[in-house]
Structure 1
Amino acid sequence: MKDAHRKSRVGHGLISFFFVFSSAIAAEPGKRLTFNEALATVESAHPDLLMMQAERDIALADQGIAASRSDTSVNLEGILRSGRPTAGNHDFTSDNSLRLTARKTLYDFGRTSAAESAAKSEVNARDAELIGTRDKRTLEIMARYFDVLIADMQFTADNEFMAVAYVTFDQGKDRLAVGQISSIELADLESRFQETSLRRNASEQRQRITRALLANALNRPGNLPSDIEDPALPGNQRVLPEYESLISSMLLNNARLKANIESLAASQKRLEFVRADKGPMLDAEVQAADYSRSASTRDSLSAGVILTWPIYQGNRVDARIAREQAQFQKLQAGNEKLKMELTQALLETYLEIGQLQRSGRSAAKKQAEFRDLVLEKSRGQYEVELKTNLGTSMAETVEATLRTRKNEYHLALAFARLEALLGAPLITQDKIKQ
């Protein structure tokens, strides 16, 4: 009878802690968040995306500036002055003028075309970086979403372990009273309960932290989701192509590599632009003028072509050329280093996917099957009043399920990283094109 009473207390303890867990998760009521809804926020006005869009807008503005180099300029010039004629009256007389001048570059020997090409390449580089930023946003949202699911399952397991430790400690008090255990053994039971309580409280805090991180990733700071869906992740069943076929695709389509290549092209064109500063410029000019003092050498209307050829500019152009050459070499070295880094990342991601699909799944599945058998055995023993380890078995089963799901979450993230490396869209679950 006493054993049955104790088992009843175990059951009541587990139920009470289950309700504690339920109330903790439901503390902030709201609509259940699905995986697809979370991914749909990739295009929201997140600071990371806004900063990259601003960089693109700057590049577009620079492109407009480069294209306007050959635009016609019209200037109005008014001059108030006095002068003393060389003949006749030697007194100072007014010599005011008003001039309207229109000027347009006819040919600048490559300056404008080089500047426009450099600006266009910079825009292309920013476009590629914008794609890369969206990919990073997707990966961040996925990682934060899965962290919440992991935190919830870990809390469930830790909550169960604490419930068992509490009831065991509570039973220890009764056993101490009848002399079945010593005070040292009871202290050991209390210590174990305190340890499980600490883990449980840390898991509860982790739930809150992961939700805050997810809210920030969704661009909804402070709006913590209370309940989220555990996605099916059908894309995890994809079959990997041969590794060699992926390398060429990555080198051709990777967003970061595209941005680097465009930056290199922009640097080359800027170098051409600087070199062109040593060449001549041909402008057309039309001028209308009015003077307060007439003279036979003055024209009220004139038009002409002006050739400007810099003969000596000191070291200004040579220094700019040297700087741009160094910048190009720096970008070139960075591009080669990026290729090595991306190739290594592709290999590691490829091997990780294979490991998770084969060994990771197999080990997690066997562990889950074993824990299911242990749970059924514990449930049977509990029902016939042989043992009271049902709570521990339930917690270990939850941990086995957590291991299985973590494998799938890591696999989904690995596939997403692979798609980002290959330059394929991350939001859709399309199969990787071979």
Structure 2
Amino acid sequence: MAAVALLSLGAALPARAESLADTMVAAYRHSALIEQNRAVLRAADEDVAASVAALRPVVEWVARQSASRAEGSTTARSTSLSIGAQVTLYDFGRGQLAIDGAKEQVLATRQALVSIEQDVLLAAAIAYFDVREAIQQVGLQQNSVEVLTSERQAAQDRFDVGEITVTDVALADAQLAATRAALAAANGQLEVAREVYLAVTGRQPGALAAPPPLPSLPATLEEARAIAQRTHPAIGQAQRQAAASELAVASAAAERNPTLSGTASVGVTRSPQTELGGYGSRNSSSVGLELSQTLYSGGRLSAGHRRSMAQRDQARAGLLNTSRQVSQQVGETWANIAVARAQITAITQQISAAQQAYDGVREEAQLGARTTLDVLDAEQALLQARADRITAESNLQLAHYQLLAAMGLLTVENLQLGIPTYDPSQYYNAVRNAPATSRQGESLDRVLRAIGRN
């Protein structure tokens, strides 16, 4: 009985409203875009492993079956089995440059993943504020329909006693129909916002809680821009790509250097013995050193070197362009915050004046000093001012999170959402040495399964 009573009490309690943090957490966990770019990062991690493996021995086995026949003799068949190894002993730094370049690409891809995380969280914030704004707009339009329905009935009553003409009633009908159309549009916008919310979070929005207090911001625009230059993931990605391009130039120049390789092989060959008849086996082994260098490649090496330098220049210009774009985004969002604040202040004064005007016009209309059109115009001005304030308040709240994104601070860690986050170093540490043994492979499998559960 106690359990039944407890369940009944739980059923009677209202469901907890979803906060902005809940929306962001749901979007982070639901996002297929984040999963896609995590896979891209894991592929970049494997490039490091491949570069490391290029400096290790390559061991191969070869089984060969051959048959030969000379004129006037029988067919002679031979079978051989050999195992050989080849390793680069010294390549004048090319292999290490490839490893360093792959590592820089990994770091660049990690920054790209942070950018995706910011995009997902910002999309969640936009969906959250859009749904809240749409709900408020629907409520405002519904209230306006109720008010205008009363106004229309009052106009009909006044017409019935001969105080106003049929024109006044028609004006009330027209305004009521227009408000109903606006209500239908607001309901449609709410459905659109809900669909966006569903796409972002994977679930339909329930009751949404009031937004949290606005996040704290830097004191000045210049301070915000300085933070963005240090922390924005797009700038970090461009910096890593520029560093990788520098290494690529050095690697292309090193392609002209010699390569020292070592080889070793052992094998056994089984072939017919012409003098004694039957087959015999012969063991063989060999070791060797090989020093090689490309003297002429038809211009391929020179073209590759020039291409690397052009790509380096491209990366440097991309870094400068990204830095400027981030600075522009910070400035724009900073201005949007100032504009939204000014709009809210002005619209609040407008609503106060419009409310006073509406109340006065209604009283004067009851005394015959104002027309029905005057009342409808005053009511419409008050409605529009209230709708504008809803939009301005939503814009102000959203602009704060857009500024956080422009500064590179809209992340799960910085927002302290309290959920486990993806550790990009976990997979990298498991594969960076190109594991091949069973113990390392089992460890890697456990990492992959853990990543999949997250």
Normalized against structure 2, the TM-score is what?
0.74
Matches within 5 A, 1:219-258: 220=202, 223-235=203-215, 238=216, 240-258=218-236
Q: Is the 8 A contact 1:157 1:396 kept in 2?
A: no
Question: Partner of 1:119 in structure 2?
Answer: 102
Matches within 5 A, 1:41-52: 41-52=26-37
The superposition leaves residues 184-243 of structure 1 with CA deviations (integer Å, 9 ceiling, x where unpaired) of 44333322221111001111111221122112222x1xx3223211124242xx463233
Q: Is the 8 A contact 1:156 1:395 kept in 2?
A: no
Deviation at 1:405, TM superposition (A): 5.2
Assess, with a 3 A threshold, how the Cα gap between structure 1 residues 368 and 182 changes in structure 2: closer, same or farther.
closer
Question: Partner of 2:277 in structure 1?
Answer: none
Deviation at 1:416, TM superposition (A): 2.1
Q: Secondary structure of 1:32's partner?
A: coil
Task: Provide the C-alpha distance between the structure 2 equivalents of 1:371 and 1:227, rounded to a whole number of angstroms.
Answer: 31
Q: Secondary structure of 1:272's partner?
A: helix
Task: Provide the C-alpha distance between the structure 2 equivalents of 1:82 and 1:232, rounded to a whole number of angstroms.
Answer: 83
Instruction: Specify which of 127, 138, 162 is matched with residue 145 of structure 2.
Output: 162
Assess, with a 3 A threshold, how the Cα gap between structure 1 residues 189 and 245 changes in structure 2: closer, same or farther.
closer
Q: Is the 8 A contact 1:264 1:328 kept in 2?
A: yes
Question: Partner of 1:65 in structure 2?
Answer: 50
Question: Partner of 2:196 in structure 1?
Answer: 213
* Structure 1 range deviating more: 126-135 or 314-323: 314-323
Q: Is the 8 A contact 1:94 1:293 kept in 2?
A: yes
2:59 is the counterpart of 1:79: no
Question: Partner of 1:36 in structure 2?
Answer: 21
Question: Partner of 2:132 in structure 1?
Answer: 149
RMSD: 3.8
2:408 is the counterpart of 1:423: yes
Q: Is the 8 A contact 2:263 2:289 kept in 1?
A: yes
Deviation at 1:426, TM superposition (A): 4.5
Assess, with a 3 A threshold, how the Cα gap between structure 1 residues 262 and 405 changes in structure 2: closer, same or farther.
same
Q: Secondary structure of 2:257's partner?
A: coil
Deviation at 1:413, TM superposition (A): 2.5
Assess, with a 3 A threshold, how the Cα gap between structure 1 residues 84 and 306 changes in structure 2: closer, same or farther.
farther
2:335 is the counterpart of 1:351: yes
Deviation at 1:303, TM superposition (A): 1.7
2:114 is the counterpart of 1:131: yes
Q: Is the 8 A contact 2:27 2:121 kept in 1?
A: yes
Question: Partner of 2:425 in structure 1?
Answer: none
Question: Partner of 1:318 in structure 2?
Answer: 302
Assess, with a 3 A threshold, how the Cα gap between structure 1 residues 400 and 178 changes in structure 2: closer, same or farther.
closer
Q: Is the 8 A contact 1:160 1:392 kept in 2?
A: no
Matches within 5 A, 1:167-178: 167-178=150-161
Assess, with a 3 A threshold, how the Cα gap between structure 1 residues 183 and 369 changes in structure 2: closer, same or farther.
closer
Q: Secondary structure of 2:30's partner?
A: coil
Give the residue type in structure 2 aligned to 1:329. D
Structure 1 unaligned blocks of 5 or more:
1-28
Instruction: Specify which of 345, 349, 373 is matched with residue 366 of structure 1.
Output: 349
Q: Secondary structure of 2:245's partner?
A: helix
Give the residue type in structure 2 aligned to 1:191. A
Matches within 5 A, 1:294-309: 300-309=284-293
Task: Provide the C-alpha distance between the structure 2 equivalents of 1:179 and 1:401, rounded to a whole number of angstroms.
Answer: 34
Q: Secondary structure of 1:80's partner?
A: strand
Assess, with a 3 A threshold, how the Cα gap between structure 1 residues 380 and 347 changes in structure 2: closer, same or farther.
same
Q: Is the 8 A contact 2:269 2:283 kept in 1?
A: no
Q: Is the 8 A contact 1:102 1:285 kept in 2?
A: yes
Give the residue type in structure 2 aligned to 1:229. A
Matches within 5 A, 1:199-210: 199-210=182-193
The superposition leaves residues 132-160 of structure 1 with CA deviations (integer Å, 9 ceiling, x where unpaired) of 11111121111111111111111122112
Question: Partner of 2:441 in structure 1?
Answer: none
Task: Provide the C-alpha distance between the structure 2 equivalents of 1:316 and 1:269, rounded to a whole number of angstroms.
Answer: 19
Deviation at 1:33, TM superposition (A): 1.5
Task: Provide the C-alpha distance between the structure 1 equivalents of 2:126 and 2:382, rounded to a whole number of angstroms.
Answer: 24
2:248 is the counterpart of 1:265: no
Q: Secondary structure of 1:36's partner?
A: helix
Deviation at 1:262, TM superposition (A): 0.9
Task: Provide the C-alpha distance between the structure 2 equivalents of 1:392 and 1:41, rounded to a whole number of angstroms.
Answer: 44
Q: Secondary structure of 2:53's partner?
A: helix
Question: Partner of 2:436 in structure 1?
Answer: none
Instruction: Specify which of 176, 181, 191 is matched with residue 193 of structure 1.
Output: 176
Q: Percent of aligned pairs with the same residue?
A: 20
The superposition leaves residues 71-127 of structure 1 with CA deviations (integer Å, 9 ceiling, x where unpaired) of 211111222335689xxx998744543221111111122221121111111111111
Task: Provide the C-alpha distance between the structure 1 equivalents of 2:409 and 2:314, rounded to a whole number of angstroms.
Answer: 28
Q: Is the 8 A contact 2:58 2:87 kept in 1?
A: yes
Deviation at 1:278, TM superposition (A): 2.4
Task: Provide the C-alpha distance between the structure 1 equivalents of 2:299 and 2:166, rounded to a whole number of angstroms.
Answer: 90
Question: Partner of 1:8 in structure 2?
Answer: none
* Structure 1 range deviating more: 279-288 or 360-369: 360-369
Normalized against structure 1, the TM-score is what?
0.77
Q: Secondary structure of 2:112's partner?
A: helix
Deviation at 1:172, TM superposition (A): 4.1
Q: Is the 8 A contact 1:156 1:398 kept in 2?
A: no
Task: Provide the C-alpha distance between the structure 1 equivalents of 2:49 and 2:295, rounded to a whole number of angstroms.
Answer: 30
Assess, with a 3 A threshold, how the Cα gap between structure 1 residues 67 and 287 changes in structure 2: closer, same or farther.
same
Deviation at 1:356, TM superposition (A): 3.9
Q: Is the 8 A contact 2:218 2:224 kept in 1?
A: no
Q: Is the 8 A contact 2:144 2:383 kept in 1?
A: no
Deviation at 1:415, TM superposition (A): 2.5
Q: Secondary structure of 1:44's partner?
A: helix
Give the residue type in structure 2 aligned to 1:211. R
Assess, with a 3 A threshold, how the Cα gap between structure 1 residues 165 and 369 changes in structure 2: closer, same or farther.
closer
Task: Provide the C-alpha distance between the structure 1 equivalents of 2:118 and 2:321, rounded to a whole number of angstroms.
Answer: 21
Deviation at 1:283, TM superposition (A): 1.4
